[in-house]
């Protein structure tokens, strides 16, 4: 079973993502800040197969989180899931090291297809 770390500070969205990912047979874990994401990813816990990462988080932004992952040599897949959907934001996300970028609002079937891919 693939383990997905969801980094989302909006509780209702985090809960919905976890529920739907688990319904698709993924093991979903949720944290709500960039700092908590880095602690989890650099900690001793079970390995993560994918990070679904919001950009606008309290403290470190999603851009900062993915940039730090890449700078440390960690290349696990990162999908940015964010309300920031302008072309400049998308480019900034890819330049930071994201593998995929999906603006909110999003269709759940599209998110699941991107995760599966």
Extents of the domains making up the chain: 3-116
8-state DSSP, 59:
S
Residues across the chain: 117
Locate 100 and state its tokens: 């995929």
- pLDDT value of residue 55: 95
Arithmetic mean of pLDDT, 5-17: 96
Neighbours of 60 (CB within 10 A): 17
Arithmetic mean of pLDDT, 80-106: 92
State pLDDT tens for residues 17-29.
999 999 999 999 9
- pLDDT value of residue 83: 85
Q: Is the pLDDT reported for residue 1 higher than 80?
A: no
CA 38, 12, 10 angle in degrees (round to 5)?
40
State pLDDT tens for residues 40-90.
999 988 999 999 999 999 999 999 999 999 999 999 999 999 888 889 999
The long-range contacts involving 36-44, CB below 8 angstroms and separated by at least 24 positions, are 36/7, 37/5, 37/7, 37/65, 38/65, 38/68, 38/69, 40/5, 41/5, 41/69, 41/74, 41/76, 42/72
Half-sphere exposure of 65 (CA within 13 A, CB side): 34
- In CATH, the number for domain 3-116 is 3.40.50.2300
Banded pLDDT at 92 (limits 50, 70, 90) = very high
- pLDDT value of residue 43: 92
Banded pLDDT at 117 (limits 50, 70, 90) = confident
């Amino acid at each position: 079973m693939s383990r997905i770390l969801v980094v989302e500070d909006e509780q209702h969205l985090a809960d919905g993502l976890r529920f739907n990912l688990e319904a698709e047979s993924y093991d979903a874990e949720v944290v709500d800040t960039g700092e908590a994401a880095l602690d989890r990813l650099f900690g001793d816990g079970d390995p993560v197969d994918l990070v679904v990462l919001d950009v606008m988080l309290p403290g470190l932004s999603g851009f900062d989180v993915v940039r730090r992952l890449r700078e440390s040599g960690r290349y696990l897949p990162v999908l940015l899931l964010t309300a920031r959907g302008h072309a400049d934001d998308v480019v900034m996300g890819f330049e930071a090291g994201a593998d995929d970028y999906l603006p909110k609002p999003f269709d759940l079937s599209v998110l699941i297809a991107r995760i599966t891919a």
